[in-house]
Every structure is written in C-alpha cells, then in structure tokens.
Amino acid sequence: MSDFNDLLVYKKSFELAMLIFEITKSFPKEEMYSLTDQIRRSSRSTNICIVEAYRKRRYPAHFVSKLSDSDMENSETKGWLQFAFACRYLDEKHYNDLVVLSDEVGKLLNHMMNNPEKYGAK
C-alpha cells in the first residue's frame, strides 16, 4: 500500500461524498446553509480525515485518533441523512443506499482502528 488512494475505505468514503454532493443539488434552496452545507461538509470530512490519518501512520495513537475523527464525521453524515429522509428530500431507495455505504465506511474505519499495524502504523 503506497498511497491513501489504495485504501478501500478512502474509495468508499469518496464515493459517498460525491453521491451526497450530487443528490444535494436537488435540495431546496432554503436548506443551502443548513442541511445541504452540513451533510456535504461531514461527508467530505470523513474522507479527508482518512487522508490525514494515512500521513500519521508512523504514530499509532495519532493514526487511530484521526480515524476516530473520520468515524465521528461519518456518524454525523448518517444523522444528516436521517434529517434529509425525514424532510422528504431523499426517497427511501437513495436513503438506504447511502446509509449502507456509510455503514461500510464505518466498518472499515473500525477495522483500521482496531488493527493499526495492518496499515503501516509502527
């Protein structure tokens, strides 16, 4: 593994952020600075914290800490998805697909946090 781009969790979290970006283009304008901005921010932060964690691999505690930040942002994204679904901005299929992808990201992050040595942490 030579780069964060090789990580499955990076690829899935990037996919999730991009799907959310596309879907939120249809959200009402009055949600631009609340729900739309927040869900885009947290989904992107999930991904970017993985990038930061990867660069902290030589320091296991920092590595796990950044992964924990990513997991927190992923959980926040799921919360915003629930609001979007409850407000009927997402249909059930899109909501379920996004939640499943978010759950996959969460499982991968937890595996990394529980096994930092498998990801180059010394």
Residues 6+ apart with CB under 8 A from 1: 7, 119, 120
Write down the pLDDT at residue 122. Answer: 67
Give me the residue label for tokens 């009402």: 28
Q: What is the pLDDT of residues 1-42, one digit of tens each?
A: 578 999 999 999 999 999 999 999 999 999 998 999 999 999
Q: What is the pLDDT of residues 62-114, one digit of tens each?
A: 999 999 999 999 999 999 999 999 999 999 999 999 999 999 999 999 999 99
CATH number of the domain that 57 lies in? 1.20.1440.60
Write down the pLDDT at residue 30. Answer: 93
Write down the pLDDT at residue 3. Answer: 87
- CB 10 within 8 Å of CB 47: yes
CA distance 106 to 87: 24
Of residues 78 and 58, more confidently modeled: 78
- CB 90 within 8 Å of CB 23: yes
Number of domains in the chain: 1
Q: What's the domain range around 114?
A: 4-22+29-119
